[in-house]
Amino acid sequence: MSTTATPVGSVDEAPEPSRRRGRRRLAHGAEAASHRSPAMTVAGYVGMLLVVLVVAVPLFWIVVTSLKHRQDIYVQPAQWLPDPATTNNYHDVTTRIPFLRYLRNSVIITVVLSLTKIVLGVLSAYALSLLRFPGRGVVFVVVIAALMVPNQITVISNYALVAQLGWRNTFQGIIIPLAGVAFGTFLMRNQFLSLPTEIIEAARLDGAGPLKLLWRVVLPMSWPTLVAFSLITVVNEWNEYLWPFLMSDDERTAPLPVGLTLLQNNDGVTNWGPVMAGTVLAMLPVLVLFLVLQRQMIKGLTAGAVKS
Amino acid sequence: MTMTDTDTVPAATATDVRRVKKGQFRAARGLLAPAVLFLVLLTQIPFLVTIGFSLVKWNLLYPQDRGFTGLDNYATALTSGALGPSILATVLITALSVILSVLFGLLFALLLDRPFRGRALARTLMITPFLVMPAAAALIWKYSMFDTNIGILNWVSRSLHLPVLAWSTDHPLLTVVTVLTWQFTPFMMLILLAGLQGQDKGILEAAQVDGAGTWRTFTWITLPHLRMYVEIGVLLGAVIILQVFDPIAILTKGTGGTKTLAYLLYERAFIGLDVGEAAAYGVVTVILTIIVATVALRTLFKVFMAGGSR
């Protein structure tokens, strides 16, 4: 199984029908690892195609709706393609609300929160998995318990606290209560614990201090999980709605999802075109981020120090 | 499995380490302690305040009438008759959505782990539902997929001469589960894909060389390796879906057996404006979650993985 980042042309399902149930020993291990019967390959493609349809239709619909004229949105039977297509909705989104302000707020909130959460998550997971200190088990259970508190309820108590501090309509009011990171701590701790102890032992005996151990050995070996954690964190912060909605009244601090709801409420009836155009625009930055990160994710364990 | 018995792992190594690098470790603790402390504070303060609220009589409609009531809120919550159906709805929706999205997520992760033509495109497409804002996702499903008149599902039914359905009123549970599965499959896929990518390729090659077929390699090597990632995915997915709010508020408004604990809580707090009672529901939810997470999941995994481990 190769780890090529760009699979274009690197198709490897060379059909080898003569092979007797794969029992014959092969000289080239790599070739054997990528073996799969043609029937399985076809089944794989068909399954993939079906699923892609289910996944793609709603997405397709979001994009198509964003390009339709208002009167074309509610017609029966549904129009599959906008006729004629229009960019009015996009124009609407960027002019009817201060789109760039909301975008700026979203970027500030997401960048600060994600960085905080990733650093906190990695450090605390490292402390809770590979370092020893009294009360470690208790701390872990306490952090995990926090995962299970429904945020509808923490919102109430957080609101009471933040409003008393006079932090409504400030970035710290939005950011600090969201900075607790139980999810990442849990994910990264389990990842760290799954690493082979011999390697960590060896690095320690070679004189690597704890932070060097984390940076040079533990993190490179946990790369795919770290990227997954980072991506999930960024997306969640980017789409965070309830808390910023309660915390901010206007474009001074409100992020995009809050801004987009204003489009919906502007004229009483829901006007789908601009809402969908806004959804597409809001999704683009995280999509680009994913495109950048997906290469990192499949880089896998290429970064040295892995062979035991 | 993942929660407790891991404490013993570094214990054996600790003595050597202490001998070699005592000073450095003290410095590291100095660095890591603030992170851990900050984390505990941020995650615990709201919970403790919630427990406090749950012991107070506090309805925002009657702000004067506020005081300590002991366990009255819990008595109301447990006897109101809303709790039972709500627990059922929560368990059904969570269990179905988690199981479906883990199965689909595993399937996609396995498919996307292999190189094939158009893989980058397929992976990008598969991840996109997760990138859409949850409220927008629920809206698009409600109006363009499930809608009785202009929805695509009914357009398909009509084309195939099947009965037309008002999805969100005829099958409320199913609609919620569908949307949640659509949204959370990429989440599971991402975690499982990370697990697959972290797999030691040498072992896979060795298995193939030794003549293990695709299926046996999968059940004997890949599945046990993925076990930890499946566990994490299920646990985190369950905990997140348990608290999910947007799709229910948008699709069904808690009707037709979809009033989950999270939605009930929202109703009590933001419509009933009864902070005390809502907090009591919140504490009950946390306790139930912890019970489910520790007991049920462990049993499930013992059954699921019984054949897989060596």
Which A-chain residues 76-115 have CB contacts (< 8 A) with chain B?
76-78
The alpha carbon of residue B210 is apart from the nearest alpha carbon of chain A, in Å, by: 7
The low-confidence residues of chain A, meaning pLDDT below 50, are 1-34, 300-308
- Which of residues 7 through 36 in chain A touch B, CB cutoff 8 A? 7-13, 21-26, 29-30, 32-36
Q: How many other C-beta atoms are found inside a 10 Å radius of the C-beta of residue A279?
A: 25
User: How confident is the model over B94-143, as pLDDT tens digits?
Assistant: 989 999 999 989 888 888 877 777 777 888 888 888 888 887 888 788 87
Same domain, A72 and A100: no
The answer to whether the CB of A169 falls within 8 A of the CB of A247 is yes
According to the model, what pLDDT value does residue B181 have? 92
Interchain CB contact of B109 with A (< 8 Å): no
How many C-beta neighbours within 10 Å does residue B305 have? 15
Distances A284 to A81, B198, B284 between C-alpha atoms, Å: 21, 28, 39
Residue A174 contacts residue A109 (beta carbons within 8 Å): yes
Q: Both A69 and A102 in a single domain?
A: no
Domains identified in chain A, total number: 2
DSSP bridge partners of B274? B59
Contact assignment for B135 to A11 by CB distance below 8 Å: no
- The Cα of A152 is separated from the nearest Cα of chain B by a number of Å equal to 6
Place of tokens 């009657």: B62
A46/A129 same-domain check? no
What is the reported pLDDT for A234?
92
Give the pLDDT score at B291: 79
Single pTM value for the model: 0.76
Question: Measured between alpha carbons, how far is B175 from B154 in angstroms, rounded to an integer?
Answer: 13
B233-243 tens-digit pLDDT = 888 788 788 87
pLDDT reported for residue A19: 39
> A289 and A231 in contact (C-beta within 8 Å)?
yes
B chain contacts of residue A240, beta-carbon cutoff 8 Å = none
Cβ distance A142 to B40 less than 8 Å, yes or no, reads yes
Instruction: Examine the fold and report which residue of A40, A65, A88 is the final residue of a domain before the chain moves on.
Output: A88
Report pLDDT digits (tens) over A19-50: 333 333 333 333 334 455 677 778 777 877 77
Query: Domain boundary at A55, A88, A121, which?
Result: A88
Say if residue A13 is in the same domain as residue A138.
no
The answer to whether residues A71 and A146 belong to one domain is: no
Per the model's pLDDT, the better-predicted residue between B52 and B297 turns out to be: B52
| Contact: B125, A181; criterion CB under 8 Å | no
Q: Do B289 and A190 touch (CB under 8 A)?
A: no
Contacts of B236 in chain A (CB under 8 A): 147, 183, 186-187
The first and second tokens of residue B123, run together, are: 């992976």
| Pair A231, A104 in one domain | yes
Measured between beta carbons, the chain A residues lying within 8 angstroms of B262 are: 150, 152
Question: Do A66 and A112 fall into the same domain?
Answer: no
ipTM for the predicted complex comes to: 0.72
CB B217 within 8 A of CB B203: no
- Smallest Cα–Cα separation from B20: which of A66, A25, A213? A213
Q: In B, which residues are within 8 Å of A279 by CB distance?
A: 132-133, 136, 140
Say which residues have a Cβ less than 8 Å from residue B59's Cβ, sequence separation at least 6: B65, B272, B273, B274, B275, B276
- pLDDT at position B177: 92
d(CA A95, CA A262): 12
**Alpha-carbon span B39 to A68, nearest angstrom:** 47
Q: Could you tell me if A70 and A114 lie in one domain? A: no
A129 touches chain B (CB under 8 A): yes
Q: Best mutation site among A4, A89, A116, A148 for testing chain B: the one with the most B CBs within 10 Å? A: A148
Whether residue B1 is predicted with pLDDT greater than 50 in this model: the reply is: no
DSSP state at residue B59:
B
**Domain residue limits at A84:** 5-88
The helix-helix angle for A136-147 and B11-54 (nearest 10°) equals 40
Alpha-carbon Rg of chain A, whole angstroms? 25
Q: Quick one: pLDDT at residue B305?
A: 53
Tell me: do A109 and A148 sit in the same domain. yes
Interface of B with A in 280-309 (CB under 8 A): 281-282, 285-286, 289-290, 293
- In this complex, is the C-beta atom of B73 within 8 Å of any C-beta atom belonging to chain A? no
Q: Does B262 touch chain A if contact means CB atoms closer than 8 Å? A: yes
Least confident of A201-205, B26-30, B186-190, B265-269: B26-30
A44 touches chain B (CB under 8 A): yes
Tell me if residue B79 falls in helix, strand or coil. Answer: helix
What pLDDT is stored for residue B14 in this prediction?
47
CATH number at residue A286: 1.10.3720.10
- One-letter identity of residue A164: Q
Tokens of B17: 């380490």
Candidates A51, A76, A152; nearest CB to B108: A51
Taking CA atoms, what residue in A is nearest to B278?
A: A153
- Is A277 in the B-facing interface, judged by CB distances under 8 Å? no
A63 and A110, same domain (yes or no) = no
Per-residue pLDDT at A267: 52
Q: Do B265 and A62 touch (CB under 8 A)?
A: no
User: Looking at the structure, do residues A134 and A167 belong to the same domain, yes or no?
Assistant: yes
* Same-domain status, A84 and A153: no
Query: Which residues, numbered 166 to 195 in chain A, qualify as contacts with chain B under a Cβ-Cβ cut-off of 8 Å?
Result: 176-177, 179-183, 185-187, 190, 193-194
Share of chain B above pLDDT 70, in %: 85
> Which residues of A are less than 8 Å from B145 in CB distance?
57-58, 61
> What are the tens digits of pLDDT across the range B148-173?
777 777 777 788 877 777 777 778 88
Q: Where are the alpha helices (DSSP H) in chain B?
A: 11-54, 72-79, 83-113, 119-131, 134-140, 152-159, 167-170, 172-197, 201-209, 214-217, 223-242, 246-251, 261-266, 275-291, 297-305
pLDDT band for position B60 (cuts 50, 70, 90): confident
Which amino acid is it at B163?
A: P
Task: Report the residue from A44, A204, A275 with minimal CB separation from B17.
Answer: A204
- Do B147 and B219 touch, CB atoms closer than 8 A? no
Q: Which residue has the tokens 């076809």?
A: A42
pLDDT of residue A265: 57
Q: What number of CA atoms fall less than 13 Å from residue B118's CA on the CB side?
A: 7
Residue A145 structure tokens: 């318990």
- Verify whether the Cβ–Cβ distance B236 to A179 is below 8 Å: no
